[in-house]
Structure 1
Amino acid sequence: MKVVIVGAGNVGFTSAKALSKSHDVLIVEKDATMAENAKALLNASVLHEDGSNPRVIEAAIKRIDADTIISAIPDDAHNIFICLMAKRVKPTIQTVACLRDPDFTVKTSKEGLEGIDILISPELITSEKIEKLAVLENAITYDRLPGMNIDLATFRIGEGHKLVGKVVLDIDKPADCNIIAVNREGNVILNNETTEIHVGDRIRVIGSPESITLFNKLVGVEREAKEFVILGASIVGMETAKRLAQSNKKRLVKLIENNEGRSRFAARELDGVTVVCGDFIDVAVLKSEDVQRADVIIAASQVDERNLLACIAGLRFGTKKIISKYSNEEYEKIFRYTGIESIIGYHRIIYNEITKNLIFDDNAILATEGNREFFFSVVVGSRSPLLDNRLGDINLPDGVKIAAVKRGNRTIYPRMDTKFVENDRVLVFTHMANPVKLNRMFGSSKPLEL
């Protein structure tokens, strides 16, 4: 595949990083420093030009005879324009628009409006993940595979939780879910059927959205999350506040923003949300707003440093759950070092969306835990080593687990006696698996980074 990427910012750079490992990539960037940075760090060609110029769009597409164009500059209107112009230059080109503001969402070609084939909105995906994490009291990570209607969550096991001392096989969990891994002190246990659950374990569960909610209750909910404080009226902060406030449940949602104009805008736009103008990294402001009473603090500003300081303040207050977004990949380790587990990286969302939409087509693909863990799907064909075999009889490589099977309209969470049939779509989970052995079993469907 030959890809033009307009913009070498966070979205464009991450997209190029994901695609350039096996595809021809041409980046168009008008900022000289960003263009030089992309040229030095990526295996991609770089054109130092203004990508919103129709002449430049045409030249870039023709230069590599592009199959796909991704428009990822900060201006949503320009991203839509670039995709429309690309279709005029080459009607068969696949267009991808990265949009930040929900107000700019338009219909795609699949919905009957030609011009944009794929829309990617990292802000909306981030707000959805934050909202789910906020209401799943015991979850520390959350992801979804919408193409398979499957959710994935990691639950932290604490003192007094109902599952402590139980063996995985004996847990009376919902039928439409599967415990795929138990994380214990840095070790990942995949063959966990006889594993006894300990305090401090992190349990990775995959299942339907309903079963994930039920599993959260199964772990044990001491106090239902009802009071939420969101720090920062960014697009992510406002969308998260909107999602939380729209629930039928009685909730107190408060948003604190230091910019007066942005605070007024948020107050006009958000129903059922208390908006406060104040500096949320000032401990005195947080105390005056009774932030210490919150069940969940959500740091959602555009500045990673401010989010980090806000999270540290939350730790000082003893807040049970703290969630933060971050944009700079380097901040992931810093957040984890401070003890913040529920963090959502912009770069990881972009990576997953790009690989899912452009590399693996309709195959589910999800990277987690610093790209050491992957979910991907394969179809059982006539020559597959899975065909007509039961799960318990298959010698899977180390670090590999069959997480789910899509058979027609059914999703099966396999047991040892589950038998694979032709055309099954199998969701595979891998943790630091051997790429040679993976390739031998699953062929080219494995993720490129493994």
Structure 2
Amino acid sequence: MRVVIVGAGAVGRTIAENLADGHDVIVVDQDEDIVEELTYEHDVLSIAGDGTELGTLRDAEVGEADMVIACTDSDETNVVVCGATKTESDAFTIARVRRRTLLETWQGSEGAFGVDFMVCTDLLTAQAIFRITGLPAARDVDMFAGGLVRMAEFEISPDSAVAGQTVQEADRYDSLTFAAVFRDDEMLVATGKTMIRDGDRIVVIGSPESITQFANEVAGTIDNGSKDVVIVGASEIGIQAAREFEEHGHRLRMIERDPERAREAAEDLPNTMVLQSDATDTDFLKREHIDEADVLVAALDSDEKNLLAALLAHRVGVERTVAVIENVEYAALFETVGVDVVINPREETAEEIVRFTRAARTEKVAMLEHDRAEVIEIEVGPGSTLTGKPIAEATNDLPDGVVIGAISRGGDLITPRGTTIVKPGDHVVVFVDAGILDEVIDLL
């Protein structure tokens, strides 16, 4: 497939890296330094120019493209790129936008703006926040096989019930597969002898019920479902996240310093108590009993403010903190100093677009540890390496770095074991080292 990507920021780069091996990729950006850097770093053709201009699109040969992805930081630019593309090509167009109102306008008018598929960054981020905070100690959560299978990544604390155990000792769940362990900068494919240590990040795949049981053991708590949630910042992400929590009946408070934004948030969120104040005022936090919250989400307009809000919340006693970050390079710093979960909107967007571009080969994609590994769902055919053989035998034909996490067959969940035989038509959820992803997809 020939893919043109307009915008070489964090989203565009991630998409280009994921597609470069299996497709012809052309990247367009106005910054000549970025274009030169991409040319040397990745197997892509890079063009310096304005993607809203027909001359630039013609230089990128959009007339021959199968797909055009507009992912600059400007909603308007991305929509214009898609519209301009349609004057030159029948390529499938994808536009990345931040504003949900623009997404709703597009959804209400099929084919509007020349956009075939629209991805809303703020909505995706809000949904990710809701998913992750639904499980104690989770760092990442995603659903597969229509909700039948869940993938989750957890950080192991010294008090965790599984700390100091081997995977074999910890494997006491009806439908759960231990996929991998991330330890510092190392990734280990989980085996029965793998030791689970304090500080490890462990990836498990299985039924929602088993994942929830495991989460409760990892965190040492029982999740009763309903949560007391505090959101700091009436940003677009903060508003969207509040709506997600409202829809599921959680107790919700929002802190917004700006009086006008606080008033608008109170009007938009009927089931949220909006407090007009400064979330960095510790006296206010104590007076309003913010320490009793189960989760605090920092969704302000800067990474630095979100870091401060999350750390102060921890200081007054909030159980769990989530911070939105724009600069993915800050993720390790935030986690090191005590923020429980960091979510990068650009990574959420890139993951959704990559999932869509792979629709012909995979059903679902989830990226882990800033794209060091992926969990994919794929429907196996008669020619798959897995088909017709016990998994213990079939996996001998796969490279190292692959774990079969779950199988969906006719709406039923099958927990894979060495003797399990995969059949044509099965949906298989697989953990894969990102470095061998294309090879593995070809084999599956």
8 Å Cα contact 1:155-1:203 kept in structure 2: yes
Q: Residue 254 and residue 402 in structure 1: after superposition, are their counterparts in 2 closer, same or farther (change >3 A)?
A: same
Q: What is the correspondence of 1:206-225 to structure 2 with a 5 Å cutoff? A: 206-209=205-208, 211-217=210-216, 220-222=220-222, 224=224
Distance (whole Å) between structure 2 residues aligned to residue 265 and residue 285 of structure 1: 21
Structure 1 position 163, deviation (Å):
5.3
Q: Deviation per CA, 1:326-367, whole angstroms, max 9, x where unpaired?
A: 111211221122133411122322332232112453503332
| Contact 1:388 1:420 survives alignment (8 Å) | yes
Superposed CA RMSD in Å reads 3.6
Give runs of aligned pairs for residues 48-197 of structure 1, distance below 5 A.
48-49=49-50, 51=52, 55=54, 59=58, 62=61, 65-76=64-75, 79-90=78-89, 92-106=90-104, 113=111, 115-145=114-144, 150-158=149-157, 168=168, 171-175=171-175, 177-182=176-181, 190-193=189-192
The answer to whether residue 398 in structure 2 is matched with residue 399 in structure 1 is no
In the alignment, is the contact (CA less than 8 A) between 2:125 and 2:237 conserved in 1? yes
Determine the structure 2 residue equivalent to 1:388: 388
The more displaced of 14-23 and 383-392 is 14-23
Kept in 1, the 8 Å contact 2:180–2:203? The answer is yes
The letter of the residue matching 2:347 is R
Q: For 1:96, give the aligned amino acid.
A: I
- Provide the residue aligned with 1:243 in structure 2: 244
1:41 is matched with 37
* TM-score w.r.t. length of structure 1: 0.81
Cα shift at 1:390: 0.6
Contact 1:234 1:302 in 2 (8 A): yes
Say if 1:182 and 1:192, in contact at 8 Å, map to a contact too: no
8 Å CA contact 2:28–2:51 kept in 1: the answer is no
With over 3 angstroms needed to count, the CA separation of the structure-2 counterparts of 1:79 and 1:184, relative to structure 1, is closer
Deviation string 1:188-238 (CA, Å, 9 cap, x unpaired) is 554444667666654422234455345434655256462211111121111
Q: 2:421 matched to which residue of 1? A: 419
Q: 1:24-50: per-residue Cα shift (whole Å, max 9, x none)?
A: 314154xxxxx2342233234334336
CA contact (8 A) 1:163 1:197 kept: yes
Whole-Å separation in 2 of the counterparts to 1:367 and 1:9: 18
Structure 2 stretches of 5 or more lacking a match? 40-44
One-letter amino acid of the structure 1 residue matched with residue 341 of structure 2? S
After alignment, is 331-340 or 56-65 more displaced?
56-65
* Residue in structure 2 matched with residue 257 of structure 1 by the alignment: 256
2-structure distance, mates of 1:58, 1:263: 43
238-247 or 141-150, larger mean C-alpha shift: 141-150
Aligned-partner residue type, residue 386 of structure 1: L
Q: Secondary structure at the match of 2:270?
A: coil
| Mapped contact 2:361–2:378 kept (Cα < 8 A) | no
Which runs of 5 or more structure 1 residues have no equivalent in the other structure? 30-34
**Aligned pairs, number:** 431
Deviation, 1:308, is 1.4
Identity %: 29
Residue type at the aligned position of 1:370: H
Is the Cα–Cα contact under 8 Å of residues 150 and 205 in structure 2 kept in the other structure?
yes
Offset of 1:401 from its aligned partner? 1.0
Determine if contact 2:299/2:306 at 8 Å carries over to the other structure.
Answer: yes
Q: 2:56 and 2:413 mapped to 1: Cα distance?
A: 43
Which amino acid letter does the alignment assign opposite residue 25 of structure 1? I
In structure 2, distance between residues paired with 1:186 and 1:329: 16
Match of 2:328, SS state, is: coil
TM-score, scaled relative to structure 2: 0.82
Stretch deviating more after TM superposition (129-138 or 142-151):
142-151
* Cα 1:402–1:237 shift into 2, 3 Å: same
- Higher mean Cα deviation, 403-412 or 190-199? 190-199
SS at match of 2:349: helix
Q: Distance in 1 between matches of 2:209 and 2:123?
A: 21
Task: Tell me: CA distance 1:346–1:397, structure 2 relative to 1, closer, same or farther (3 Å).
Answer: same
Which residue of 1 is the match for residue 42 of structure 2? Answer: none
Aligned equivalents of 1:183, 1:28: Cα separation in 2? 34
